Amino acid sequence: MSIHWPIIRACLKKPFSVGIVDELRSYRRIELLVAAMNLASEIERKCQSNTVGVLLPTGGLAPIAALAVWMLGKAVVPLNYLLKPEELQYVVDDCGTDTIITVGPMLEFIGHTPRVKNLLRMDKSNLKGVPEPRWPALSSDDDLGVLLYTSGTSGKPKGVVLSHGNISSNVRQIRQWINFGPEQVFLGCLPQFHSFGLTALTLLPLMCGCKVVYATKFVPPRIVKLFREHRPTVFIAIPSMFNALMSVKDAGPAEMSSLWCAVSGGEPLPDAVASRFKERFGVTIAEGYGLSETSPVSNWCRPQEYKPHSVGPALPGIHQIIVDPNTGAPMPANTDGEVRMRGPNVMHGYYKLPEVTAAAFDERGYFRTGDIGRLDEDGHLFITGRLKEMLIIGGENVFPREIEEVLCAHESVKDAGVVGVQDPMRGELPVAFVEMKEGMSFDRQTLLTWCRGKLAGYKVPTDIRMLEALPRNPTGKVMRRELKKLV
């Protein structure tokens, strides 16, 4: 099924209702359609490539641009505006697009203009006039819908090939699993160039006919103000955002009382953040899980099935297994192993990388996630680490997340990241980096003593170092690869 047709139908069903609110304006659904049709005409006159780059901030313009591209039967390439100039140019060149849709303030923000034949400025386009009549393209399940480049935390970015069928099925899976209706109001500020922000915070509410409220930047007092103004029922964010909201001194349970579903994704939610948020706001944060390669949502813990640390069961139509990463043998319940899965939401492969694509799937067709986790007797998935980030200390497997959880539980620590350093005697040793809470001082010995009281001896970091800010990717996840460069 085409990605765009359910959005078009939802817009035509309630044309004069507000579909999107961002920091510049609100959009009625008919305005979204009219703007998309006008932009489609402009793209059609200039673009000859099958792919179109979208370089826009979080807000209403990004879905308009995507809708216009899909109406023409072309594929959307969301462009990460936080990449370095050479990285962004690599993506533009690799995807083969001759057109980028953007706005002037975005070009000012990134400080350069990517080299491309056509640069379409939405802030200079007439998107309000009567559009040319057109019948939007009918795309098949296998047609390329989105070429989503990974963040490039390990080598050059890879283009994840997501078809119309992949993304449409993922939205249907979420809707079947959690009964989102048009009465729901979404709130978030995840970047729409990221799979989580694209599917869960953009396409899902548009297809469901819900209102979605966007903040371009995550500024905690501003987010609290949006809670007060719009009374959202669904808040989708990452752990660091939930943590930062607790810095707003005048915010309490009243601001969050409208929430029905608070979802954290992108990385595991620390115990300390979950418990303090519950205590402060009276809200239980449920976790979800997925990867760019799975469109992205594969698991979503429903509010009524909450279990600490669980990302929930697999969504309908997704089959997950836990295997020994060395042999591929299935592991029993409550035993850690590599998470593998297959389903209609799993990518077709990596763009122009057949060998890398082949290596990403096992002989049974399961996608190798590279994540370590376990399934309990109820089918709930618990993510415990990354296969490549696992440390082997004196022959014992140690996952950085376990050490990070202990450090984050200390009252002075805002966040932590743990990596391994080679050791001739024990193979590897853990080294921790911490970011302190505002007003808290760093005391290495105090934190080491804290760890010794809560971890097995071989898991205690050999050193703890403070950073003013931990390196993060665009979704706020701590980049251990960058920390590795510091040891």
Domain ranges of the chain: 4-188, 390-484
CATH classification for the domain delimited by 390-484, as one of 3.40.47.10, 3.30.300.30, 3.30.360.10, 3.40.50.740: 3.30.300.30
How far apart are alpha carbons 142 and 484 in whole angstroms?
39
List the beta bridge partners of residue 465: 433
What CATH homologous superfamily does 4-188 map to? ANL, N-terminal domain (3.40.50.12780)
pLDDT of amino acid 152: 47
**Residue 375 CB contacts under 8 Å (≥ 6 apart), including other chains:** 320, 322, 333, 334, 381, 382
Nearest to 80 by CA among 169, 167, 159, 178: 159
Task: Enter the tokens of residue 84.
Answer: 């370095």
Task: Per-residue pLDDT tens, the chain, 487 aa: give them.
Answer: 899 999 999 999 999 999 999 999 999 999 999 999 999 999 999 999 999 999 999 999 999 999 999 999 999 999 999 888 888 999 999 999 999 999 999 999 999 999 999 999 999 999 998 999 999 999 999 999 999 998 644 467 899 999 999 999 999 999 999 989 999 999 999 999 999 999 999 999 999 999 999 999 999 999 999 999 999 999 999 888 998 999 999 999 999 999 999 999 987 888 888 999 999 999 999 999 999 999 999 999 998 899 999 999 999 999 999 999 889 999 999 999 999 999 999 999 999 999 999 999 999 999 999 999 999 999 999 998 888 788 878 767 788 988 999 999 999 999 999 999 988 777 789 999 999 999 999 999 999 999 999 988 889 999 999 999 999 887 778 888 899 899 8
**Residue 300 CB contacts under 8 Å (≥ 6 apart), including other chains:** 174, 177, 178, 263, 286, 288, 289, 311, 312, 315
Task: Enter the tokens of residue 471.
Answer: 């390196």
User: Hey, is 364 helix, strand or coil?
Assistant: coil
